[in-house]
Amino acid sequence: MNKCLDLKKFPTPFKTGLIVLFHKKGKENNSITSYRPISLLPILRKLLEKLLLQRVNFTINKQNVLHLHQFGFREGKSTNHALRKLLDVIEEREHYVIVISLDIQGAMDNLKYDIIRKELRKLFTKSNISETLEDILSNRKVAIQTSDGPAVWKQTQVCPQGSSTSPFFWNIVADEILKTDWPKEIYLQAFADDFAFVISGRTR
């Protein structure tokens, strides 16, 4: 771990994940959307990611780097906290209220690495930790077994299920949405990739 931070590099052999497709119960067999891809990653990679995130989360919690209205993938926060906050906001509004729930489909699958890097640089002062996090995103590859042997290709987006850093990378990108200067009639909170808007007004 310390060597990775000194070099600001994540081991290249750990950057390749083996994709395994799991069929979604009740879905058609001949549709690509009926399968959930899971990335099998080296155990040492998962261990390194968790050790790195321990240091990152210490900074996040100490300096309140992420918006308080993100309840997903956060230590000490849960769906109960998110629901309680949402109900409190609704009850505090004195006028008509509408709640809009938005689920971002394929959130992890569509995360582009250049956007993640941009948000990392905005949120964190340049350091060994931030640069090592950025390096995790470079030269990423995925492999899938075929009848002709393994097929390998390079990734420029997608945060794989199974990686400890995927929820963290999503949260720093979603943070940009939460920190948008919304009108005072609009309250926004999130639980991972599920967003809830509370909009109030004097008339229906």
Q: Answer left, alpha or beta for residue 189, where phi above 0 means left and psi between -120 and 50 means alpha.
A: beta
User: Would you state the pLDDT for residue 141?
Assistant: 93
Give, for 93, the enclosing helix (H) or strand (E).
none
Residues linked to residue 3 through DSSP beta bridges, in sequence order? none
Q: Which of 73, 39, 55, 42 is nearest to 1 (CA)?
A: 55
Q: Residue 152 and residue 148: Cα distance in Å, rounded?
A: 12
Could you give the CA distance from residue 23 to residue 189 in angstroms, rounded to a whole number? 32
Phi, psi of 173 (to 5 degrees): -75, -45
Residue 17: closest CA among 35, 40, 50 = 40
Instruction: Give pLDDT tens digits for 187-196.
Output: 999 999 999 9
Residue with tokens 């002062």: 125
Give the model's pLDDT for residue 1.
Answer: 78
Q: Would you list the domain boundaries of the chain?
A: 1-201
pLDDT of 94 above 90: no
Predicted TM-score (pTM) of the model is 0.88
Is the pLDDT at 122 greater than 80? The verdict is yes
Q: What is the pLDDT of residue 95?
A: 87
Please list, in sequence order, all residues whose beta carbon lies within 8 angstroms of the beta carbon of residue 47, skipping any fewer than 6 positions away: none
Both structure tokens of 23? 């069929």
The answer to whether residues 1 and 51 touch, using CB atoms and an 8 Å cutoff, is yes
* Structural Rg of the chain based on CA atoms: 20
Beta bridge partners of 188: 197
User: Across 41-177, where does the E strand assignment appear?
Assistant: 96-103, 141-146, 149-154
